[in-house]
Structures are given as C-alpha cells and as structure tokens.
Amino acid sequence: NAGVMQNPRHLVRRRGQEARLRCSPMKGHSHVYWYRQLPEEGLKFMVYLQKENIIDESGMPKERFSAEFPKEGPSILRIQQVVRGDSAAYFCASSPIHLQEAQYFGPGTRLLVL
Amino acid sequence: SQELEQSPQSLIVQEGKNLTINCTSSKTLYGLYWYKQKYGEGLIFLMMLQKGGEEKSHEKITAKLDEKKQQSSLHITASQPSHAGIYLCGAGDSGGYQKVTFGTGTKLQVIP
C-alpha cells in the first residue's frame, strides 16, 4: 500500500521561473493538504483540498501561489515567478474521507530558488 | 490563533534512558497528533489523541493528553539511536481537524 507520493523530491529554479509540485495521496484518501517548512521555522499549513474543490486556503500567500486537486491525477501546488524567499520544503499530506482522522505525510519537495 | 509550545527544544540522552517531551497549547486541544521527522525527510505519524485523559502506546513510546486538553506529553522508555529525530506535536482545529497547527519541535539525539 503506497504512501503519499511527492515529486520531484528536489527542485531548483531561478528567480522568476515557475515551480510545479505534485502530490499523489494515499489510496482511498480524498483529502489533500499542503504545508511549507521554511528554513529554521516550523511547519505551516497552506491549503486543504478535496477533489476539484479548495476547502481552506487561509495559509496560502495571496499572490503567485495556487493549488488544485483535479478529478483525475495528482494535486498540484504551483508557484509563479519564484523568489528566493520561496526556498523551503513543501510537504503534502492526505487523510481518509472521514473527518477527524490523522494526516499522513509525503517525503516533501525541497525547492531551492537561485 | 492557536499556538503550540514544545519543551525542551532539544534533548541529548544516553541510550537506554527514558525521556519526556511536552506540548502545551494556548487553547483547548482537539485531535492532538504526534509526528517524528528525520532530517531531510517527511513526517512519520506516531499517535493521535482526542479525549481528555487519553493515553496511547506504541512500542516504547507513550503519549498522553491531559484532562483539561491543553497539554500533551510524549514519553520514550529505554531510548535507542533509532528514536533520534525531531518530534512534532500538531493540533487539529475544532471543526474537523483539517487545518493542523504544529509545535516548534523537539530535536532528540540518542548517544550510543
């Protein structure tokens, strides 16, 4: 039973480029969450999605960041016109259909902006 | 907004010793989670506590949620080098726990 999968594991971008991070939830999980871990900082919630719906994006920066979880395929976190401050580890988590269940995390994507 | 404070921030113990990590919340805790993170890797789910007074154990790790539901502790018995890592507590929101707020983390080193 495969866990949460994220790719790429490492991503290097130059300032101004776009970054696309992918997350495939665990089998049977319909809830996806994105978190960001900045260097020397804690893990911060960004966005919570269900299939084709953004449920809570209160942690997303207002500009340049977007997320989607289409009917088919992985969830995508997209960062446009990256800046050095976007360098961080981005983690995806998923949980089963029922609420009040634990979230299971992927290995993360480490984004480095040059 | 809810804040979680973990103590200690870091801990170095001799292999075989017991240790406790605390997580204190500024608000009532709903769906308290404990995770372990190894450097450069993702989070490994350890345990989830929901009810005041609840206690759960897995192998040599025991977690408790106090009756007032504002503090949780993680206790490791007879620590091993494999226990080394960063321990994070996380609190779900009062609704469906979807939005998890994480603590500051406790870095554990176990010396053989």
Asked if the Cβ–Cβ distance from A44 to B102 is below 8 Å, we say: yes
Report the residue from A42, A48, A107 with minimal CB separation from B98: A48
Name the nearest CA neighbour of A52 among A67, A36, A35, A33: A67
Q: Give the separation between CA A35 and CA B13, rounded to whole angstroms.
A: 30
Tokens standing for residue A11? 């991503």
Tokens standing for residue A47? 């966005």
- Contact (Cβ atoms closer than 8 angstroms) between residue B37 and residue B44: yes
pLDDT exceeds cutoff 80 at B97: no
Q: Give the separation between CA A67 and CA B11, rounded to whole angstroms.
A: 37
Name the nearest CA neighbour of A99 among B97, B100, B46, B102: B97
- Find the mean pLDDT for residues A30-44: 90
pLDDT exceeds cutoff 60 at A109: yes
pLDDT of residue A1: 54
Report the residue from B50, B97, B104 with minimal CB separation from A42: B104
Name the nearest CA neighbour of A42 among B25, B102, B107, B94: B102
Instruction: List, for residues B39-81, the tens digit of each pLDDT value.
Output: 778 899 999 998 888 999 989 999 999 878 799 999 999 999 9
Report the residue from A42, A99, A107 with minimal CB separation from B97: A99
**Which residue of chain B comes nearest to A46, CA vs CA?**
B99
- Contact (Cβ atoms closer than 8 angstroms) between residue B35 and residue B91: no
Q: Give the separation between CA A19 and CA A11, rounded to whole angstroms.
A: 8
pLDDT of residue B56: 94
Phi and psi at A80, nearest 5°, equal: -90, 150
Decide which of B2 and A15 is more confident.
A15
For residue A87, the tally of other CB atoms under 10 A from its CB is 16
Decide which of B29 and B33 is more confident.
B33
Place of tokens 């050095």: A84
Phi and psi at A84, nearest 5°, equal: -60, -35
Name the nearest CA neighbour of A28 among A55, A3, A56: A3
pLDDT of residue A53: 93
How far lies A44's CA from each of A39, A52, B36, B78, B106, in Å? 12, 23, 16, 32, 16
Asked if the Cβ–Cβ distance from A105 to B92 is below 8 Å, we say: no
Q: Which helix (H) or strand (E) holds A46?
A: strand A43-50
